Amino acid sequence: MIVQSFSALAGAQFPAGEVWLCGAGPGDPDLLTLRAVQALSQADLILHDALPGRAALRHARRSAEIIAVGKRKGAAPVPQARINARLVAGARAGLRVLRLKGGDPFTFGRGGEESLACEAAGIPWRVIPGISAGMAAPAAAGIPITHRGMASAVTFVTAHDETGALPELNWRALAQSGGTIAAFMALSRLDELALRLLAGGLVPTTPVALISAASLPGQSILRSTLGQCTLDSRRAALPTPTMIIIGAVAALGVQVRTQPLGGLRHAHG
């Protein structure tokens, strides 16, 4: 295994010929980790996704080559195999290669695939964890994803498998788990997701919160129910990215300031 331990990153310089898989967090640049800022300031080549907040790239050194490889609406995404090849080629050329992803690289970020590609090519790689939207979005909305007596478990799911379809999960077991469901990339599949969970046993009145542009100035929160959320989301025309929280805790929370949160501050009252 060529990956370095996370503890070895403390105070480390970015060695030439390595690939660092870095999480940019949910969007607010104040939520970048110190290690992410350090890596951005040292990288020679940065391959980044369609980040919710591009302010993270301001930390890149002026001479760095910055390439967008993320999926954008209306445009074909860069194939994962091509991204993997570019990471390996950059490292073999002696560059410090940073793969910058929204949220956390290993939470629906395909960081696992990229680390395996580096491993197969004999390229040293490291991981810089980021704050996943699955945790940051509900926090930004004032929603505790666990709450004593209400939710003792959380399940993170994606609404898109490798073909773009809703994954073949045990939706009935998920519906009957009694915990919180945090759904990534689910807005376009919300009708299917809701139908699967309703068929699995969740009642139509189950609270749902749709959190759009979490932690950014345009953040918005739509409160609904499992039986009504598809219609409500269409009427609201929510922009992406949107995190969907399903379960009793989705009814909790307070109105959030519509400005950069810098630590997820909330308004009172």
pLDDT for 76: 60
- Return mean pLDDT, the chain: 88
Tell which residue, 62, 1, 53, 45, has the closest CA to residue 23: 53
Q: Please tell me the predicted confidence (pLDDT) of residue 54.
A: 75
Per-residue pLDDT tens over the stretch 214-259:
999 889 999 999 999 999 999 999 888 899 999 999 999 754 443 4
Tens digits of residue pLDDT in 167-218: 889 999 999 999 999 999 999 999 999 999 999 999 999 999 999 999 998 8
Residue 51 contacts residue 129 (beta carbons within 8 Å): no
The pLDDT value recorded for residue 198 is 97
The model's pTM is: 0.86
Cβ atoms < 10 Å from Cβ of 64: 19
Q: How confident is the model at residue 7 (pLDDT cuts 50, 70, 90)?
A: very low
100 vs 262, residue with greater confidence:
100
- Return the pLDDT at 122: 97
Measured between its terminal Cα atoms, the distance across the chain in Å is 52
Most confident of 45-54, 73-82, 149-158: 149-158
Q: How far apart are CA 27 and CA 95, in angstroms?
A: 26
Architecture of domain 6-131: 3-Layer(aba) Sandwich (3.40)
Long-range Cβ pairs for the range 167-173 (8 Å, 24+): 171/196, 171/197, 171/199, 171/200, 172/199, 172/200, 172/201, 173/200
Report the alpha-carbon distance of residue 95 to residue 107 in Å, rounded: 26
**pLDDT of 121-137, one tens digit each?**
999 999 999 999 999 99
Question: What pLDDT was estimated at residue 53?
Answer: 62
Q: Which amino acid is at 132?
A: S
List the catalytic residues. 49, 71, 185
Mean pLDDT value of segment 38-60: 90
Question: What is the pLDDT at residue 123?
Answer: 97
Distance separating alpha carbons of residues 121 and 136, to the nearest angstrom: 34
Would you identify the CATH topology of the domain 134-251? 3.30.950
pLDDT confidence of 75, banded at 50, 70, 90? low
Mean local confidence (pLDDT), 103-125: 96
Domain residue extents for the chain: 6-131, 134-251
Across 26-30, 52-56, 92-96, 116-120, least confident range: 52-56
Among 72-76, 115-119, 226-230, which is the least confidently predicted range?
72-76
Share of the chain above pLDDT 90, in %: 74
Query: Would you list the DSSP string of the chain?
Result: --PPPGGGGTT----TT-EEEEE-BSS-GGGS-HHHHHHHHH-SEEEE---S-GGGGGGS-TT-EEEE-S-BTTBPPPPHHHHHHHHHHHHHTT--EEEEESB-TTSSSSHHHHHHHHHHHT--EEEE----HHHHHHHHTT--SSBTTTBS-EEEEES--TTSSPP---HHHHHTS-SEEEEES-GGGHHHHHHHHHHHT--TT-EEEEEESTTSTT-EEEEEETTTHHHHHHHHTPPSSEEEEESGGGG---PPPSS--TTT-----
Residue 264: what pLDDT? 47
Distance CA 259, CA 28 (A): 10
